[in-house]
Chains A and B, each alone.
Chain A
Amino acid sequence: MTEKGYIDPAALDRIVEAFETKIGPHIGARIVAKAWSDPAFKQRLLADATAAINADGTLGRVSDHLTAIENTPHRHHMIVCTLCSCYPWEVLGLPPVWYKSAAYRSRSVIDPRGVLKDFGIALPPEVEIRVWDSTAETRFIVIPMRPAGTEGWSEDRLAALVTRDSMVGTGLAKPAGASAS
Chain B
Amino acid sequence: MNGVHDMGGMHGFGPVTLEKDEPVFHGAWEGRVFAMQRATFFLGLWNLDLARASVEHLPPPVYLGVSYYDKWRLGLESRLMSYGLVGADELRAGHALHPAKPVKRKLAAAEVDKSLQRGSYGRPAQAPARFAPGAAVRTKNINPTTHTRLPRYARDRVGTIEAVRGCHVFPDSVVLGKGEDPQWLYTVVFDGKELWGEQAAPGLKVSIEAFEPYLEPA
Contact = CB atoms under 8 A, between A and B. Distances in A.
B116 to A, nearest CB: 6
Interface stretch (A4-12, A29-37, A141-149, A150-158): A4-12
A103 B39 contact: no
B47 to A, nearest CB: 11
Interface of B: 5-11, 13-19, 22, 24-26, 31-32, 34-36, 38-40, 43, 48, 52, 55, 64, 68, 80, 85-86, 95-96, 100-101, 103, 106-109, 111-113, 115-122, 149-151, 153-154, 165-166, 168-169, 171, 185, 187, 189, 195-196, 200-211
Interface string A76-88: 0000101111000
Given A63-B117, A109-B9, A103 B108 contact: no
B153 A107 contact: no
A135 to B, nearest CB: 5
A20 B204 contact: no
Interface in A94-109: 94, 96-98, 100-109
B210 A82 contact: no
A126 B201 CA distance: 11
A84 B152 CA distance: 14
Contact of B103 (A6, A84, A104, A119): A6
A12 B39 contact: yes
Contacts of B34: 15-16, 19, 94
A127 B200 CA distance: 15
Interface of A: 1, 3-8, 10-16, 18-20, 22-24, 61-65, 80, 82-85, 89-90, 93-94, 96-98, 100-113, 115, 118-119, 125-138
A126 B123 CA distance: 41
Most chain A CB within a 10 A radius of its CB, from B5, B7, B100, B106: B7
Contacts, number: 224
B136 to A, nearest CB: 18
Given A82-B8, A125-B202, A129-B205, A98 B31 contact: no
A56 to B, nearest CB: 16
Nearest to B45: A6
Contacts of A137: 48, 118, 121, 168-169
A133 to B, nearest CB: 5
A164 B206 CA distance: 21
Contacts of A108: 8
B35 A97 contact: no
A14 B189 CA distance: 40
A115 B9 CA distance: 12
Contact of B16 (A12, A23, A107): A107
A175 to B, nearest CB: 20
Nearest to B23: A20
A110 B154 CA distance: 12
7 contacts: A6-B103, A14-B112, A15-B34, A96-B19, A102-B13, A103-B17, A131-B207
Nearest to A84: B52
Contact of A18 (B10, B18, B112, B154): B112
Given A18-B112, A84-B55, A106 B8 contact: yes
B74 to A, nearest CB: 14
Nearest to B163: A67
Given A7-B106, A65-B165, A126-B203, A109 B13 contact: no
A7 B22 contact: no
A128 B122 CA distance: 31
A135 B150 contact: yes
